[in-house]
Structure 1
């Protein structure tokens, strides 16, 4: 007999019935949904529910129409009915998205819930509570606070479940400063749900970054997973979204991430191509240029990074964390001295502003060929196109990748950092997103590796074509003292 047809029980009978639900349905959300709400979940919805039951970290990317939000609402009610001392927090980017999305589904399910259990709960515009245990059995929704990420933290509970709706719209700092905080509890779960519309950010990383993705249970839903979906329906959607080559086809129909961010300066697929390009080889007849992003040499400062570029190829990346700027200058000299003559740099390009001043001074005193790059100064090429030299260098780095004949190591930090900045037009000139904005969006993420690469474009190898022609041995400029 359906529970919705049972007569009201005495309080003790209601408690006994609740215990039966816990015993019978705690491991079977599908049966739970059928019994309490009279709905039959699709195979994909059941896959999502099983992933939630059996894993601590769950990340779900999916197309449109197959019922992601509805499934999350089912899971919320399952958690509240089959657990005591449970806190469910649903995060979202805007109040409208929360009210029109998952909270609307939660309310509809409560309206259709079997009578004995419907009366156990009170639903408001922001909270669901079990009437006899309001403080320890509850669900609420929260918006993130980018100016004060710690304010986005929820409460602690023995069973602490977090659902992040529209997860791709949540800044990284909210994950690291607030959401992941629940993992210290006894039985935590974090479930991320979103259309895969961006190729950066924490949600993207849970599917694609091998440093963390192996810890997450991934589920992929497609538009074809919708109940009753027909091939002709999918064909109509493909036409509406602009064909099989469009971004919307990948994200909304296939449930796959786009190949790049339209607002990103350097598309992710360009970087992936460069990291897999084995056709490009090192060419000692082309100049070597070193780019140096200088850190402070202590725990509170950025690391120092050296990127060595040989024409179309990054041949080496060095990360230095234990030297101050002056010591770094001497270290660079040692590295050059240890480098074969034919591979020594024509110039070491250093951002001479701020902490970089000490490094530049040492290089100058030692006679090391260098270029003091003032990234905040006016552009040196294309002055009518770029706001500052920094914008020019990043754009020239972009062009380097755009030609599809560059080669870089499969270096996670470098690739990630290169994909972070966005850009726009300011008074008709290109303006690349500044470091402060990037740090704010990505929890103090610094673009040290990417900046070091961009610095290698501060000089043009063309000026050395005569001196470094193919029939002339390369003798490092100004480095005879090292012999």
Structure 2
């Protein structure tokens, strides 16, 4: 039985290296059998040279993950004793996306004209990969980005070292600085890719003062979804219509957020909610909701807020986009204890027909929910720290809170949210115009935790929280109005339709 050759002993390997070590694009075309897009060509040409520093701000669908997989295999197979370090905030996501793409790329190689070289590669379940026979010196490994792992990775040295940071906009600055400092040899490379989710940090700096245009060493690239042949026109139009201006910049155009994007909406937009006529007609099938954010009622800064609103629609755009009219704000106080507020809340709803009570049950409100339920009321328990249910919103928002607050702000901008009372107007405007907005590592909209620096010292926005409850994706209502404006439940409507159908019999 013939002895198995190691990769460096295989007579085909040196000619392979001579052909492809200097050209990532040629490796993709001839070894994997894929045709790179113009954006991928740009990334490959930037990364191929020794000592390259490449940073990519990218929108959706630009082939970034496929590109990284190609870079990883190119570096592993074309350079002796090479080490490739992959780092990210979310290791599960890295395994589900990049390592899946690496597996697909290896199979492409195996089926191609250089299939022999794939037999020298071993992929392990712990998100590592190595050249058989060189387990400790010729490999690819993945590490979560933190201080401990950064120091360990920075301890790796070698002539052929490549460090790749995925979703680099959210990697800690200390981690990226430490890793950057480990690149001490001539042929060491570093590649950062991310959606450009924040105007600060090491990744942002690589596109500004550390960029080559400003005398730095980083070749900064911007990949727009609008220029990618991998995104269809129909998909682009759908995403463009769904996103607001800030999302379009970050998630489609590969541009950093504008400074104005730090708040959900401006004071100017918030003021548009006032002075408008009604936006829901009496003959439309709207429903009534009583929305409540419950505080302790012990004279602290937080207040209990209760409001009554008309609601119609379940979408976030188009004809079915949700419209909301805030009709009254009968309660805004910090003097009623949470165990006594059940009565005033129910009194508000007793004036209305087919009413749904939406109450924040994440803290003190859970007892209020129980009291309302025991009284036979229709209650929607609100836990807006939970993730969204709809797939489109899971991808877009960190949680239900971000979804509701962003959709409320968008409705205000589009004239789908009006306040028909001047009760607590100054409080409403102050809170609505100061809700901070940031992006997560996956470009999802998030609202920072209360009392974090982004809130700039603002107390809990209890009143605006209650308004935003009306825009939760899963808040339902009972349509109850007929054309004359009198109350009619859905059951009444069905009964009337049947009677009309058989009226002549």
Q: Normalising to structure 1: TM-score of the pair?
A: 0.51
Per-residue deviation, 1:86: 0.9
2:276 is matched with which residue?
Answer: none
2:20 is matched with which residue?
Answer: 25
Per-residue deviation, 1:17: 1.7
Alpha-carbon separation, structure 1, partners of 2:263 and 2:158: 39
Alpha-carbon separation, structure 2, partners of 1:167 and 1:94: 11
Do structure 1's residue 422 and structure 2's residue 454 form an aligned pair? yes
User: What does 1:259-274 align with in structure 2 at a 5 Å threshold?
Assistant: 259-260=258-259, 262=261
1:218 is matched with which residue?
Answer: 220
Alpha-carbon separation, structure 2, partners of 1:16 and 1:71: 28
Q: Are the equivalent residues in 2 in contact too, given 1:168–1:201 (CA < 8 A)? A: yes
Per-residue deviation, 1:421: 4.7
Per-residue deviation, 1:109: 1.2
- Choose which of 25, 30, 35 in structure 2 pairs with 1:35: 30
Q: Are the equivalent residues in 2 in contact too, given 1:51–1:58 (CA < 8 A)? A: yes
- Choose which of 94, 110, 128 in structure 2 pairs with 1:98: 94
2:60 is matched with which residue?
Answer: 64
Indicate how the Cα distance of structure 1 residues 263 and 143 shifts in structure 2: closer, same or farther if over 3 A, else same: farther
Q: Are the equivalent residues in 1 in contact too, given 2:88–2:143 (CA < 8 A)? A: yes
2:196 is matched with which residue?
Answer: 196
Q: Are the equivalent residues in 1 in contact too, given 2:211–2:219 (CA < 8 A)? A: no
Q: Deviations over 1:119-169 (max 9, x none)?
A: 101001321100132222111111122478534535111111000000011
1:314 is matched with which residue?
Answer: none
Alpha-carbon separation, structure 1, partners of 2:73 and 2:10: 17
Indicate how the Cα distance of structure 1 residues 192 and 211 shifts in structure 2: closer, same or farther if over 3 A, else same: closer
2:81 is matched with which residue?
Answer: 85
**1:227 match: secondary structure:** coil
Per-residue deviation, 1:209: 2.5
Alpha-carbon separation, structure 1, partners of 2:105 and 2:159: 25
Per-residue deviation, 1:35: 2.2
User: What does 1:99-178 align with in structure 2 at a 5 Å threshold?
Assistant: 99-114=95-110, 115-125=115-125, 126-146=127-147, 150-151=151-152, 153-176=154-177, 178=178
Alpha-carbon separation, structure 2, partners of 1:28 and 1:206: 24
Alpha-carbon separation, structure 1, partners of 2:106 and 2:230: 25
**1:89 match: secondary structure:** strand
Q: Deviations over 1:168-216 (max 9, x none)?
A: 110111122x211222234211111001111111101111235885321
Indicate how the Cα distance of structure 1 residues 165 and 25 shifts in structure 2: closer, same or farther if over 3 A, else same: same
Q: How many residues align?
A: 271
Per-residue deviation, 1:74: 0.1
Q: Are the equivalent residues in 1 in contact too, given 2:211–2:218 (CA < 8 A)? A: no
Do structure 1's residue 250 and structure 2's residue 249 form an aligned pair? yes
**Which runs of 5 or more residues in structure 2 are unaligned?**
267-426, 435-451, 463-505
Alpha-carbon separation, structure 2, partners of 1:75 and 1:250: 27
**1:35 match: secondary structure:** helix
Indicate how the Cα distance of structure 1 residues 25 and 9 shifts in structure 2: closer, same or farther if over 3 A, else same: farther
1:436 is matched with which residue?
Answer: none
Alpha-carbon separation, structure 2, partners of 1:219 and 1:238: 22
Per-residue deviation, 1:99: 0.7
Q: Are the equivalent residues in 2 in contact too, given 1:145–1:151 (CA < 8 A)? A: no
User: What does 1:277-292 align with in structure 2 at a 5 Å threshold?
Assistant: none
1:46 is matched with which residue?
Answer: 41
Q: Are the equivalent residues in 1 in contact too, given 2:143–2:149 (CA < 8 A)? A: no
1:239 is matched with which residue?
Answer: 241
Q: Deviations over 1:330-383 (max 9, x none)?
A: xxxxxxxxxxxxxxxxxxxxxxxxxxxxxxxxxxxxxxxxxxxxxxxxxxxxxx
Q: Are the equivalent residues in 2 in contact too, given 1:64–1:253 (CA < 8 A)? A: yes
| Of 182-191 and 254-263, the range deviating more from structure 2 | 254-263
Q: Are the equivalent residues in 2 in contact too, given 1:168–1:195 (CA < 8 A)? A: yes
Q: Are the equivalent residues in 2 in contact too, given 1:160–1:182 (CA < 8 A)? A: no
**2:188 match: secondary structure:** strand
**2:60 match: secondary structure:** coil
Alpha-carbon separation, structure 1, partners of 2:202 and 2:5: 46
Indicate how the Cα distance of structure 1 residues 428 and 225 shifts in structure 2: closer, same or farther if over 3 A, else same: closer
Indicate how the Cα distance of structure 1 residues 38 and 141 shifts in structure 2: closer, same or farther if over 3 A, else same: same
**1:183 match: secondary structure:** coil
2:317 is matched with which residue?
Answer: none
Alpha-carbon separation, structure 1, partners of 2:175 and 2:210: 21
Alpha-carbon separation, structure 2, partners of 1:72 and 1:152: 19
Indicate how the Cα distance of structure 1 residues 210 and 16 shifts in structure 2: closer, same or farther if over 3 A, else same: closer
Alpha-carbon separation, structure 2, partners of 1:172 and 1:240: 32
**Which runs of 5 or more residues in structure 1 are unaligned?**
1-7, 268-384, 386-394, 400-419, 431-483
Q: Are the equivalent residues in 2 in contact too, given 1:144–1:152 (CA < 8 A)? A: no
Alpha-carbon separation, structure 2, partners of 1:183 and 1:33: 25
2:347 is matched with which residue?
Answer: none
Q: Are the equivalent residues in 2 in contact too, given 1:145–1:152 (CA < 8 A)? A: no
**1:39 match: secondary structure:** coil
Per-residue deviation, 1:73: 0.6
